[in-house]
Structure 1
Amino acid sequence: MEVVTMTDELRNDYEVAVIGGGAAGLSGGLMLARARRSVVVLDAGAPRNAPAEGAHGLLGLEGINPLELLERGRGEVRGYGGEVVAGEVTGASRVGDGFVVTLADGRTVRARRLLVTTGLVDELPAVAGVRERWGRDVIHCPYCHGWEAAKDRAVGVLGSGPMSVHQALLFRQWSDDVTYFAHERPPSEEEAEQLAARGVRVVAGEVVAVETTDERLSGVRMADGRLVERETVVVASRMVARAGFLESLGLRAEEHPAGVGEYVPSEAGGRTSVEGVWVAGNVTDLTAQVGAAAAAGAMAAAQINADLVAEETRVAVEAHRASFSVGAEA
């Protein structure tokens, strides 16, 4: 594979600035570049799935290393004339009929439209060992990691969020040895019945640590000193959209209806309440996997191109009418 690295080269004006260089952003950048739009993808270089060994459920690229996937994507965007530039966006403002985007190092760039694909941050439970094992044997999504990390293994699910019981029931599909640790989220009477019916054991009490032995997860340490042996631990992170820089445009992340974090609301296709700004991927769909995020980026990019075509057509029609009027008068 040819390695294509990001650069710091940045022109002043583009038709579209894509903020975020993950699957959604690069897919959007590729679609726009193929539409012969001047586009730059601005990437802070902090992909959410960097700790994972592979991206899964991605047809044709099953198990590809996430960083390799992004490297390929950058090369594909550049292959059609798009630009991919390293830089963290810290602000955006409306100027005239477009936007000015500001980077952390002081650079700025103008664009007629914005596609925001900055993803989200996982706020993990405050349990020792969770962050250190995150993405390996401490996981959150059965579709992302279930086959590799949970299939026929001793799985523990930490009760830490509104979706924790749901996670336990899901992971039961991958393993018949699932234990639910009530921790901060004891199951309701109805949920306890569901867990019992599915053969999921419930352990009451506070969890203080996820422990390892010889670089392998060994179990869950309870506040009373017990160690419950587990090979994989499932946690429910609070997922928070990376969207603070949009507040200057009047666009803010909101609490998700399911109580799982904060997202930027949008219409189908990614159009936001702010004219000229679209979103795609985890910044608006907190549970989207890589394939879904890439598809959303492509869809939003197609809508942006159509919006630009409509604007350019209106301008062309006005110019045509003016030219015809002048000709008639002559």
Structure 2
Amino acid sequence: MDTTRYDVVIIGGGATGLSAATTLARALRSVLVIDSGTPRNAPAAGVHGFLSRDGLNPRELLSIGRSEVTSYGGTVLDGDAVSARRTPSDFEITLEDSRRFLGRRLLVTTGLTDELPPIPGLGEQWGKGVVHCPYCHGWEVRGQRIGVLGTGPLSTNQALMFRQWSPEITLFLNDTVEPTDEEWEKLAARSVQVVDGAVASVDAVDGVLTGVTLRVGPQFSVAALAVGSRMEARSALLESLGLPSQVHPSGAGRFIETDAVGGATAIPGVYAAGNVTNLMAQVITAASEGVMAGARINADLIDEETRWAVEGRFGPFSAASEAAVSNMVLGERAHGIAR
């Protein structure tokens, strides 16, 4: 086992985890980020709605984020964390390859998994011709013929949302959606075409979406297909600590419940942020939640260290290590180095 004791171990190296790590590293905390390399938005060509980073490839965004973390002394490790347990003074994290690491605090930013209906061709187009969020993808498909695949009660609202970006919207009920009388009125008022019957396949030619075929009936030509996925928090690590996921009030999936500010869970010392707790968060929102979680964790550590000082002890630190940190900071100031 790695005997290095980190102030904070972060599981998940997406926008949330890297933002938290940068915040903590800038606060002179020792931080380890463990990342499995499977970001939710990997199939997408670019990130949108992120000021100054619009259109940037998701993996390039993460590469920049990793560099920022390491520039402040943080560590980023490729690996898949499979379990965590509480020791008398730490959290012990075990990776799939049996490596183990210790952290005084644990932050989980593992995101979520989008579960799609088992329709042939749908998964292959996910993040390409098949989209989900109008604010993430609406501009790119504006003015085109857009289909909306019925997956449940929220699909009617999704069709009305995408109507903002195109006058040609077709809602495929897919034997899963039964609009209310009020919803039928809204769909008609907004000139949304409604097609009954189950969808048999999502069709493409040379990797480009071309249409939707019904089990009984014709093929419909669409340039983009919106679908509301079922969003399931990647919560296995938290569940290994005794934190089960909860059904989201919207019915859109399952999430981990935390407090309103900073991502504290029901287990002291364990935090969660980003899509694992906020299913609807876009990338920029998730990054912001990472900053807030980092600041909250740092405040928690400060409180703990202040208690130790009042009690006349240094906790996990020695007087020598405390002096070394002080000398490092004073030396940088003397040479005009700004942190």
TM-score class normalised by the smaller sequence: over 0.9
Q: Structure 2 matches for 1:5-16, cutoff 5 A?
A: 12-16=4-8
Secondary structure of 1:105's partner?
coil
Q: Distance in 2 between matches of 1:126 and 1:185?
A: 16
Structure 2 counterpart of 1:165: 156
Q: Structure 1 runs of 4+ off > 2 angstroms?
A: 9-12
> Could you tell me whether the CA contact under 8 Å between 2:146 and 2:166 is conserved in 1?
yes
Q: Distance in 1 between matches of 2:268 and 2:279?
A: 22
Q: Structure 2 matches for 1:126-165, cutoff 5 A?
A: 126-148=118-140, 150-165=141-156
The correspondence for 1:258, drawn from 250, 260, 277, is 250
**TM-fit CA distance, 1:252:** 1.2
Q: Any idea what the Cα deviations from partners look like across 1:243-275, whole Å, max 9, x if unmatched?
A: 112223111111111100010011122111111
Secondary structure of 1:319's partner?
coil
The correspondence for 1:306, drawn from 291, 299, 309, is 299
> Could you tell me whether the CA contact under 8 Å between 2:108 and 2:238 is conserved in 1?
no
**TM-fit CA distance, 1:10:** 6.1
Q: Any idea what the Cα deviations from partners look like across 1:42-65, whole Å, max 9, x if unmatched?
A: 000000101101000100111111
Secondary structure of 2:311's partner?
helix
Answer yes or no: is 1:295 the counterpart of 2:288. Answer: yes
Secondary structure of 1:249's partner?
coil
Structure 2 counterpart of 1:200: 192
Answer yes or no: is 1:125 the counterpart of 2:98. Answer: no
Query: Judging changes above 3 Å, is the alpha-carbon distance between structure 1 residues 126 and 216 closer, same or farther for their aligned structure 2 residues?
Result: same
Q: Structure 2 matches for 1:233-272, cutoff 5 A?
A: 233-268=225-260, 269-272=262-265
Q: Distance in 2 between matches of 1:151 and 1:270?
A: 36
The correspondence for 1:114, drawn from 101, 106, 122, is 106
> Could you tell me whether the CA contact under 8 Å between 1:117 and 1:282 is conserved in 2?
yes
**TM-fit CA distance, 1:212:** 1.1
Q: Distance in 1 between matches of 2:216 and 2:288?
A: 47
> Could you tell me whether the CA contact under 8 Å between 1:10 and 1:85 is conserved in 2?
no
Structure 1: which 5+ runs fail to align?
1-8, 321-330
Structure 2 counterpart of 1:17: 9
Structure 1 counterpart of 2:27: 35
Structure 2 counterpart of 1:66: 58
Secondary structure of 1:239's partner?
strand
Secondary structure of 2:84's partner?
strand
Secondary structure of 1:84's partner?
strand
TM-score w.r.t. length of structure 2: 0.90
Structure 2: which 5+ runs fail to align?
314-339
User: Among the aligned pairs, what percent are the same residue?
Assistant: 53
> Could you tell me whether the CA contact under 8 Å between 1:181 and 1:205 is conserved in 2?
yes
What count of residue pairs does the alignment treat as equivalent?
311
> Could you tell me whether the CA contact under 8 Å between 2:153 and 2:178 is conserved in 1?
no
Structure 2 counterpart of 1:92: 84
Q: Distance in 2 between matches of 1:218 and 1:80?
A: 47
Secondary structure of 2:171's partner?
strand
Answer yes or no: is 1:273 the counterpart of 2:248. Answer: no
Q: Which amino acid aligns with 1:311?
A: E
Root mean square deviation of aligned Cα: 1.3
Structure 2 counterpart of 1:328: none
Q: Distance in 2 between matches of 1:209 and 1:186?
A: 21
Secondary structure of 2:52's partner?
coil
Q: Structure 2 matches for 1:73-88, cutoff 5 A?
A: 73-88=65-80
> Could you tell me whether the CA contact under 8 Å between 1:255 and 1:261 is conserved in 2?
yes
Q: Any idea what the Cα deviations from partners look like across 1:73-93, whole Å, max 9, x if unmatched?
A: 000000000000001010000
Q: Any idea what the Cα deviations from partners look like across 1:161-183, whole Å, max 9, x if unmatched?
A: 23211111110010010010111
Query: Judging changes above 3 Å, is the alpha-carbon distance between structure 1 residues 10 and 188 closer, same or farther for their aligned structure 2 residues?
Result: farther
**TM-fit CA distance, 1:98:** 1.8
Secondary structure of 2:107's partner?
strand
